[in-house]
Amino acid sequence: MKTVCLVVGAGAGIGAHVARKFASSGYHTCVTRRTNQDGLDQLVDQIKRSDGEATGFLSNIAKENSIEELVLEIEESIGPIEVVVYNIGAQIGDRSLKETSAKMFEVGWRLGTFGLFRLASILLPLMEKRGSGNLLVTSATASMRGNAGQHSHASAMAGRRMLCQTLNAEYGAKGIHICHIVIDGIVDAPDTVGLMLGPEKFEALRQERGMDKDGLLLPSAVAETYLNITRQHRSAWTHELDIRPFSELPWWNSEKLSL
């Protein structure tokens, strides 16, 4: 049996790079995404070509029992999940209240908050039996304050953040390291930010802030910090930290693009 790192939501941004990083550190890395079998296969192949181990799963976290069955399948057929990264976004761009349907609002919560609850419910008791484990939760500026047009996203992310606190209050002392990671900047990610902006605007953004200007979050750099969090000695754990480009003002100093 291998020691597993499961990355829930492994597109081409933070998720994919975190997956590679943990694979190159010796974990059998399981990666999921909702759609795009080709993209998933490519990621698994990349990892394997770098002498890592990986298995891919198409999985719709919003579907009943999806994450529950996935966790049990991995634990049974691959190995114990020592690290799980919840990397599901719920950003739908800025929408006025009128443009935010009840359905959208609910989907935001299902992806933003409820999916994490379901993942924790199935996996933390397994980790508890083993006396150790890591739950890393990618989160967003919107978990810290609500901006105009972010009705769905902000309330879902605040729920996510608070859930990390209640999980930590119950499972920290049982040896499970839960970390809420506030991504407070725009990620250089064609799969998410790129799709939201469209190719032209994304390229312009890259020219303006990215590349050698380092004003967009490099997912590989973010992944480095994720790995380090899991390596902290249990006498000195971090429960919450923020990550942003050096040239970006923090959320408390600026109005942010909602990306």
Q: How many residues bind a copy of itself, per CB under 8 A?
A: 85
Return the DSSP state at 187: B
Question: Which residue in this structure is represented by tokens 């069955």?
Answer: 69
Residue 212 backbone phi and psi in degrees, to 5: -75, 0
Pick from 37, 50, 60, 254 the residue near a copy of itself by CB under 8 A.
254
Contact between residue 20 and residue 48 where contact means Cβ atoms under 8 Å apart: no
- Spatial distance between the Cα atoms of 234 and 189, rounded to a whole number of angstroms: 32
For residues 171, 167, 91, 152, the Cα torsion angle rounded to the nearest 10 degrees is 170
Pick from 59, 100, 139, 230 the residue near a copy of itself by CB under 8 A.
100
Piece of the chain touching a copy of itself by CB under 8 A; list 22-30, 33-41, 44-52, 117-125:
117-125
Q: What residues between 151 and 190 interact with a copy of itself by CB under 8 A?
A: 151, 154-173, 175, 177, 188
Q: What residues between 186 and 205 interact with a copy of itself by CB under 8 A?
A: 188
Contact between residue 122 and residue 133 where contact means Cβ atoms under 8 Å apart: no
Is residue 99 near a copy of itself by the rule CB under 8 A? no
Residue type, 63: K
Piece of the chain touching a copy of itself by CB under 8 A; list 21-29, 37-45, 75-83, 136-144:
136-144
Q: Which is nearer to a copy of itself, 40 or 123 (CB)?
A: 123
Q: In this structure, what token pair is assigned to residue 120?
A: 């924790």
Pick from 49, 76, 96, 200 the residue near a copy of itself by CB under 8 A.
96
Q: Which is nearer to a copy of itself, 35 or 65 (CB)?
A: 65
- Spatial distance between the Cα atoms of 119 and 65, rounded to a whole number of angstroms: 10
Is residue 131 near a copy of itself by the rule CB under 8 A? no
Long-range contacts of 46-49 (CB under 8 A, 24+ apart): 46/20, 47/19, 47/20, 47/23
Is residue 251 near a copy of itself by the rule CB under 8 A? yes
Piece of the chain touching a copy of itself by CB under 8 A; list 35-43, 76-84, 145-153, 196-204:
145-153
